Structure 1
Amino acid sequence: MSSFRYGRDFVITGALMTLLGTLPACVTSSDFDRLRSQVYHQDLERKKQEERIAKLETELSQSKPVQANSWAEMNAMRTQMATLSGQVDDMRR
């Protein structure tokens, strides 16, 4: 008998929670205006971030050729240094 009572209490509690969860929420115009303001400011921030990303991508695309050229020059200098080092070793012998 006690298990039936426990089950009944559980069902009643669940029904009350469901009823409370379905009640309409009250939103005032100031709440709505505050939300609209937050959305507006977040949209401005998003646009700023998109502009910043576009600027950084442009700078990156401009620096890639320069970086590639510097890398090629550095590798050429390493080759020259290895050649000179080999010549110095030959002269020492």
Structure 2
Amino acid sequence: MKHIHIGDVEPFRIELLHQDKTQALKVLEEAAEAVEAFKDWNKHGQTAKQRHDLIDECADVIQATVNLMAAMGFTDEEIHQAIEDCRARNDARGRMAPCSDN
């Protein structure tokens, strides 16, 4: 499987970011919307519109996650390390395809 490259994701304006439960719950809200979009796609014919709605909701999850990380003041180095750690955990559990150097 190929890697998915998301690229730079800009967080919302600083005045919209807060270190609070509401900011954290936004990730959960957007994730629930992505699940509902998937269920709609899966149940009702897998149309191009439903596919578009699903990817839009997935992008909203990414945006909400980036906003939470920015609100918490996580550095790029911390985020990159967390992603590497996550991959290593999943690799150890046999979930990842072998890395290629290509």
> Considering the TM-score relative to the shorter chain, is it more than 0.5?
no
Report which structure shows greater RCO (CA 8 Å, sep ≥6).
2
If each structure's helix is expressed as a fraction of its own residues, which one has the higher value?
1
TM-score with structure 2 setting the length: 0.28
- Which structure: larger Rg? 1
